[in-house]
Amino acid sequence: MTLEEAAQQLYALPQQQFTAAREAQAAEAKSAGDAALATSVRALRRASASAWAVDLLARDAPDELEALASLGDRFRTAQSGGDRAAISALTRERKEALAGLVSRARLLASDAGHPLSVAALAEVDQTLRAVVADATAAAAVRSGRLVRALAADGLEEADLTDAVAGPAPEGVAPARLRAAPAVGGSSRDGDGDGDGGGGGEAGSGPGRRSAALDRKSAAEAARRAAEQAAADAEREADDAEAALAEVDERATRLAHDRDDVLDQLRRLRDEFAAAEHRSAELDDREKFLTREHRRAAADAAAARQAADRARAALD
């Protein structure tokens, strides 16, 4: 068993089973005489809820994730060419694809016994947006070994530091997954669920090293906050563009409906005018027939009287 194979198995499990399964794998590797693999397996961190849900998507919907990454390629082509019509169409396509995948992730997590919170679903959406914005982030997501949410705005590369468990996936430079070593020594990240150990500080100047780490942590936090803000702004822009497109579409439909109503009104007016004309003709015809009826009745009465007189004369 390789580290990648071990990670693939672990991140496919429900979260509540992760730690026990990881320790069992590490013990198995140690029993097989592979102490290095045992150490590497034990160092694997449990994924955040959102990353775990995205890992489920990587297994359940690989074709859809591939299509989402391809959508990002088409987006970049349209943006570089300044094709506003294509960008508008791709924005609507992205909105539909993201909504479908986020809904699918929610169902997968629920079926696995770990429903996602609203915040976790927002991070799933943010991570999937990074798939569209950054081809390398897309490769990291498709690995199925993501351990934390990603963010990218299309202007800068997504921060992949400690974002993928195990070896670097195809299409991802290993350097992008590891933080630069701190001045004055090195350290190893602890387990995300409280397991695993950390290395001691080496060299001199622990105060300087601590200050450097603090500055680095603050810079990382600021960058991630900026990425989150950019992702939020992009999401709001997408929603605004989609809303505008929907309003335009509704306005077009209303214009067509108005034209249809006006056509119907014109037809009804023509039909009403024709009906009035026909009604006048029928009125004239009725008057004529009434006169003819009276004349015929008078003629009949006169004829009857003449007949009566003639019969009386014979008598």
Q: Do 118 and 106 form a contact (C-beta atoms < 8 A)? A: no
pLDDT tens for the chain, 315 residues long, are: 899 999 999 999 998 899 999 999 999 999 999 999 999 999 899 999 999 999 999 999 999 999 999 998 998 888 888 888 888 888 899 999 999 999 999 999 999 988 999 999 999 999 999 999 888 899 999 999 999 999 887 777 888 888 899 888 888 888 778 765 544 444 444 444 444 333 333 444 555 666 666 666 666 666 666 656 655 665 566 566 556 656 766 776 777 787 778 778 888 888 888 888 888 888 888 888 888 888 888 888 888 888 888 888 887
* Kind plus residue range of the DSSP H or E element containing 37: helix 35-42
pTM of the predicted structure, to 2 decimals? 0.57
What per-residue confidence (pLDDT) applies to 205? Answer: 54
Residues 6+ apart with CB under 8 A from 108: 53, 56, 57, 60
Q: At what angle do helices 118-133 and 206-314 cross, to 10 degrees?
A: 100
| Distance from C-alpha of 95 to C-alpha of 26, rounded to nearest angstrom | 42
Structure tokens at 24: 């069992």
Q: What is the pLDDT of residue 196?
A: 38
Query: Which pLDDT score is estimated for 296?
Result: 85
Sequence-distant (≥ 6) Cβ neighbours of residue 171 within 8 angstroms: 135, 136, 139
Q: Which pLDDT score is estimated for 214?
A: 65
Q: How many CA atoms lie within 13 A of 281 on its CB side?
A: 6
pLDDT of residue 238: 59
Q: What pLDDT sits at residue 230?
A: 59
Q: What is the CA radius of gyration of the chain?
A: 40
